[in-house]
Structure 1
């Protein structure tokens, strides 16, 4: 296919994160959509079904009887070579966990958007938290955090580029309600440009009646397969970087695996994922106005973790402050755990201040960010391994 002339935006719409994901699936010309409704992801999947009903998208839409079945259908369709799309959140991610593991370990390319929300904790919580996403971290899925509706749309499109290039499933992550239901201007790329950008080669077909094979049988040789999956998953860091470079060339927007903001001369660098990035940039600007050399490092690609890129970005600063909306109980925040390991392996020795806030969708006002900054600047090293901020009173 020749490079299209119209690589700019066709139009600009005001879309929620959910609708942006649906438009991304439409532009990618997905062929199978399998899902089960769950808050706050339902409107995304309803929008895709609307596209099919209006004959704007030629796809099979299947509303399964539950998330386990929805992901099982996705695995089967991907095995047959279809371009698949789905979305879920929280308990839905938990319920589909068995076939979700099969998708990652079987290397079946697909895209599932997670409207990240808190998992069951004595009561249901439909508000933003990263617990559900973190349960998928070690399953072979490529995970990409988003902070805006535009980034959601672009990441769905890039997700298929990554998935079909390296044959791995991809999970774009947007925070429930904060992103899924927040409306922002979104520039829609030209459909021909998207078709040019996405892979042209026929997708790998695992199920072929002319070539009988067995799947899911008892296997004592999975050690080798897991070794190979590790090698392939690690290579996804470079695949994601290449996919972004090509996306930037075609569409003029860039979503780096890590994105530094005013880090060149920073003595303290804040880190976060998702919508926390917006507040962190405001914090950095405020700190700069106070005469403090602050910077911010946004982490977009979480799994596989871009350890070398993060170590390079943090080399030279005096302190690192990590703000997290997810937590491994009894241990620490997931972003801090990964960052500490990355810096240790790279021989970078710098105090890491680990903050946890906003669990269960609790708001994080700018006053909390300011407390985090003042604490970090006011201490040579953290007094506790994990510092909790904004915990509501009983």
Structure 2
């Protein structure tokens, strides 16, 4: 992904904001996380690419990206993290090693979902002021040749807008900071309107600032996500949900998963229903933290089981 980005930079590609792309290849993933944060703090729509040990290496920097409310997107090509031996193939070790950072975590099952959910992740991040990780299975999705509808430039421009757009401030907590209007990607580093970010705090203030992220920011993410998912569906006809089901309404058995295995699981469900008369359903955990999305499932046993996860 990063290589193709660098190719487009060399080709002089101009994005939908009429800006030339910027590509920076630092000396490590830790530095890459810092550069991505810096670009976001200067009001740019920023993106990072990594996998496996690279995600683990940048891990400590991701907490600060959340705490500073930096709305960038981290793309992960999920690979196993080396343990007893070297393995460069698919595993979700890297995706789940950031579970405690506060990033929005989204998993795509196919190339089409990767393209679409990247755009959706940007919009959710920029409205909620919380960075997002959009993951796909290493090799099983990253290197798979498949057909897809590439989002058109006009679609991207309409759906995402420009980083410098002034938008209605979406939540009460954000209005306390920015007022009724704010920049789509806020300027944290601005010489004309300087502000303090990343201060040193002692225990009492630090505890309050960390705990307050939940009511002031995290609890708004589900509604913002649903809004963005619905808006994308209205524009494209491609439906995504935080927790999606396939043949679950009458299912006696459920396959629960995430990533590329969902594509095969849906085919297996079809096959077993046709050949063995087994009522199999599939649930795709598109968002790792699906919380209230489970209540949308009509199957009571499934809903109760999911709420225990």
2:214 alignment partner in structure 1: 230
Contact 1:269 1:314 in 2 (8 A): no
TM-score by length of 1: 0.67
The separation in 2 between residues aligned to 1:306 and 1:77, in whole angstroms, is 29
The separation in 2 between residues aligned to 1:315 and 1:107, in whole angstroms, is 36
The separation in 2 between residues aligned to 1:211 and 1:307, in whole angstroms, is 38
More strand by share: 1
Check if 1:300 corresponds to 2:286: yes
Check if 1:118 corresponds to 2:103: no
Contact 1:257 1:306 in 2 (8 A): yes
Deviation for aligned residue 1:312: 4.2
2:160 alignment partner in structure 1: 198
1:51 alignment partner in structure 2: 8
The count of corresponding residues between Structure 1 and Structure 2 is: 280
Contact 1:311 1:343 in 2 (8 A): no
The separation in 1 between residues aligned to 2:67 and 2:243, in whole angstroms, is 25
The separation in 2 between residues aligned to 1:170 and 1:50, in whole angstroms, is 24
Contact 2:12 2:21 in 1 (8 A): no
Contact 1:111 1:163 in 2 (8 A): yes
2:116 alignment partner in structure 1: 154
Contact 2:251 2:281 in 1 (8 A): yes
The separation in 2 between residues aligned to 1:119 and 1:94, in whole angstroms, is 8
Deviation for aligned residue 1:216: 3.5
The separation in 1 between residues aligned to 2:268 and 2:236, in whole angstroms, is 29
Check if 1:208 corresponds to 2:190: yes
Check if 1:310 corresponds to 2:294: yes
Root-mean-square deviation (CA, aligned residues, Å) is 1.9
Deviation for aligned residue 1:230: 1.7
TM-score by length of 2: 0.85
Secondary structure of the 1:63 match is coil
Deviation for aligned residue 1:212: 4.2
Secondary structure of the 2:146 match is strand
Out of 29, 48, 67, the residue aligned to residue 86 of structure 1 is: 48
Deviations along 1:190-247, whole A, 9 cap, x unmatched? Answer: 2122111114333211112244444433212122222232232232122111111000
Out of 226, 229, 247, the residue aligned to residue 262 of structure 1 is: 247
2:135 alignment partner in structure 1: 173
1:245 alignment partner in structure 2: 230
Deviation for aligned residue 1:152: 0.4
Secondary structure of the 2:148 match is strand
Deviations along 1:266-296, whole A, 9 cap, x unmatched? Answer: 1222211011101211221122121222211
Out of 271, 292, 301, the residue aligned to residue 286 of structure 1 is: 271
2:179 alignment partner in structure 1: none
The runs of 5 or more residues in structure 1 that have no matched partner are: 1-43, 321-338, 345-394
Deviation for aligned residue 1:311: 4.4
The separation in 2 between residues aligned to 1:109 and 1:117, in whole angstroms, is 24
The separation in 2 between residues aligned to 1:139 and 1:340, in whole angstroms, is 25
Contact 1:129 1:175 in 2 (8 A): yes
